[in-house]
Amino acid sequence: MRLFRFLAAATLGLASSIALAAEPDQAIRQTLKSLQPDLPIEAISESPMPGLYQVQLKGGRLLYTSADAQFVLQGFLFQVKDGKTVNLTEQAESKGVAKQINAIPPAEMVVFPADEKAAQKTHITVFTDTDCGYCQKLHSEVAELNRRGVEVRYVAFPRQGIASHGYNTLVSVWCAKDRRAAMSLAKARKDVPEAKCDNPVAKQYQLGQMIGVQGTPAIVLANGRMIPGYQPAPQLAEAALAAAAK
């Protein structure tokens, strides 16, 4: 999970910026906004741990604070139950990520559908860069994932940023008459005919940054759990189908 700006820096002015408000929600909002005005707060609620509040950010990630906002932390909150540990932070963040990812219209993705004859079906959403070697390796196994009942939905994540070679290639893929063919061409390290159109590449890149994508391929399962990096098709399909069953 990436550090936010006000936590990555030394927050020396925290105590002086505490909001003197009666309600925890108001105090927490005022304090965090004073440290980072553009912090995308979606909701504030009591966490499962008494006395600790959780701040849900756009994109799914969480911060924790005390009720008076004098203490702010970022990290995992675990619950020990029946001798086992449950990562409550990961669970909550996955729900937020799933909400964002599953709201992407299929028309804005490059979709390789699951085999109709597969006994079980689910989907994965893959943040991809056509210049990425492991993305190319994953693409070579898309047919096997489809055969195992996994629909592969590609979204764009040009690792070198906007206007890079990878960005321009992704734009050409998204603007091609046959996106699937263009994606396969790019993943085979072949030139894709240049094409321009209104496209979601920059928007998807920003979404990836918001939910914490730091490299490609970044694979998001149907339940919002993120797998950073390549996994072989049998292992990935097993994880994807298990996530869909929960």
Question: In this structure, are residues 172 and 192 in contact, taking their beta carbons and an 8 Å threshold?
Answer: yes
The catalytically annotated residue of 132, 148, 175, 225 is 132
User: Is 132 a known active-site residue?
Assistant: yes
Checking phi first, is residue 69 left (phi over 0); if not, alpha (psi -120 to 50) or beta? left
Question: How far, in Å, CA of 39 to CA of 51, rounded?
Answer: 23
- Those residues with Cβ within 8 angstroms of residue 31's Cβ, 6 or more apart along the chain or in another chain: 14, 17, 18, 19, 65, 69, 72
The catalytically annotated residue of 29, 148, 153, 159 is 159
User: Is 129 a known active-site residue?
Assistant: yes
User: Is 175 a known active-site residue?
Assistant: no
User: Is 159 a known active-site residue?
Assistant: yes
Q: Which residue reads 């966490």 in tokens?
A: 47
The length of the chain in residues reads 246
Which three-class secondary structure state does DSSP give residue 43? strand
The catalytically annotated residue of 129, 131, 148, 175 is 129
The catalytically annotated residue of 61, 131, 135, 225 is 135
Residues serving a catalytic function are 129, 132, 135, 159
